Structure 1
Amino acid sequence: MLQDLNFPKFTFRFKNSENKVSIFDEIRKKFIILQPEEWVRQHTVRFLMEHKNYPKSLINVEKELKLNGLSKRYDVVVFNPDGSLHLIVECKAPKIKINQSTFDQIARYNLELNATYLMVTNGINHYYCQMDFENEKYVFLKDIPEYES
């Protein structure tokens, strides 16, 4: 049984094979083995599309990124139409507690990426920040803004 998350209810497509359950990823257009973090990621993507009106074409999932020569993967990213980054999302499994080091990690990534907004979620607790690049810090928000075309 999958854990209820602190998101609106969404309908997902599932597939069962070799005793593993997979969930269909609308962005990657394929079934992904359902792990706790993936469950959070899929809810996050649907939340961004269906409640914040971000176009599917601007959302990217599980992309690799070079940071100081190291390969890092981000969970979800939303681009602006000009190709710059609007939002980076770090997804954790529901049982992972979100703490200061989680934010420091995503803020470090973001010094390279320059996204305007950051979101960190474990599906239960969601935190939103807006970057202040001039002072190299972030400001907590109650929510992330809806997409404005």
Structure 2
Amino acid sequence: MQPLNLPTYPFKLKSNEKHTLIFDELRKKYMVLTPEEWVRQHFVQYLIQQKNYPASLIGIEKQLTVNNLKKRTDILIFNTNGKPDIIVECKAPHIPITQNTFDQIARYNLKLNASILVVTNGLSHFFCKLDTKNETYVFLRELPDYKI
């Protein structure tokens, strides 16, 4: 898989007759190693190891309904009260981050009301904080470290 603009981590990989698999520590199972999964697994480890987010507050592919359609968030980080705090949308490295990507995560946030949105393709990362007073988003240079 392609190197990403994230630290490297010692992932558990294995192969079956059709695919290479990567072990997802949060879901406790091997997943097919797609380019998007490669980004997701790196970003989860970045959250835990570099930004100190507790693994217990991180959800992978949590389902929600938007306009009567079932959707899934790539990564959802909850606060200690169990409310969504950060939504992360992961794309494969070859997928450019566009306005459509931001529109997608914004639609998810209409349901979830998270305070921070993250969009990444593993090479480029965008962090936005909701400014409720002005009803807009403010871009951040980096994701804040976890604080209780």
- TM bracket, shorter-chain basis: over 0.9
Q: How far 1:19 moved relative to its partner?
A: 3.5
- By how many angstroms is 1:122 displaced? 0.3
CA distance in 1 between counterparts of 2:109 and 2:53 reads 20
Using the alignment, how far apart are the partners of 1:32 and 1:133 within structure 2? 37
Structure 1-normalised TM-score?
A: 0.96
**Corresponding residue for residue 17 of structure 2:** 18
Identical positions, percent:
55
Distance (whole Å) between structure 1 residues aligned to residue 47 and residue 120 of structure 2: 13
User: What displacement does 1:136 show?
Assistant: 3.1
The corresponding residue for 2:45 is 46
Q: Which residue of 2 aligns with 1:67?
A: 66
Give the secondary structure class of the aligned counterpart of 1:57: helix
2:136 is the alignment partner of 1:140: no
Which runs of 5 or more structure 2 residues have no equivalent in the other structure? none
What TM-score do you get using the length of structure 2 for normalisation? Answer: 0.96
Q: What SS does the corresponding residue of 1:105 show, helix, strand or coil?
A: helix
- Shift of residue 133, structure 1, vs aligned partner: 2.9
Name the SS of the counterpart of 1:63 in structure 2: strand
Task: Write the letter of the residue equivalent to 1:135.
Answer: N
SS in 2 for 1:107: helix
Q: How does 1:101-116 map to 2 (within 5 A)?
A: 101-116=100-115
Pairing 1:88–2:95 present: no
Q: Does 2:54 match 1:55? A: yes
2:86 partner SS = strand
Query: What residue identity is the alignment partner of 1:95?
Result: H
Per-residue deviation, 1:94:
0.3
Looking at structure 2, the residues matched to 131 and 6 of structure 1 have their Cα atoms a distance apart, in angstroms, of 25
Q: 1:8–1:51: structure 2 CA closer, same or farther, 3 Å change rule?
A: same
- What secondary structure is seen at the aligned counterpart in 2 of 1:7? coil
Distance 1:130 1:99 in 2: 18
Give the Å deviation of 1:58: 0.3
Partner of 2:7: 8
1:31 maps to 30
In structure 1, the residue corresponding to 2:88 is in which secondary structure?
strand
- Aligned partners of 2:100, 2:20: CA distance in 1, in Å? 31
**Rounded Cα–Cα distance in structure 2 between residues aligned with 1:134 and 1:104:** 20
Q: CA deviation at 1:67?
A: 1.7
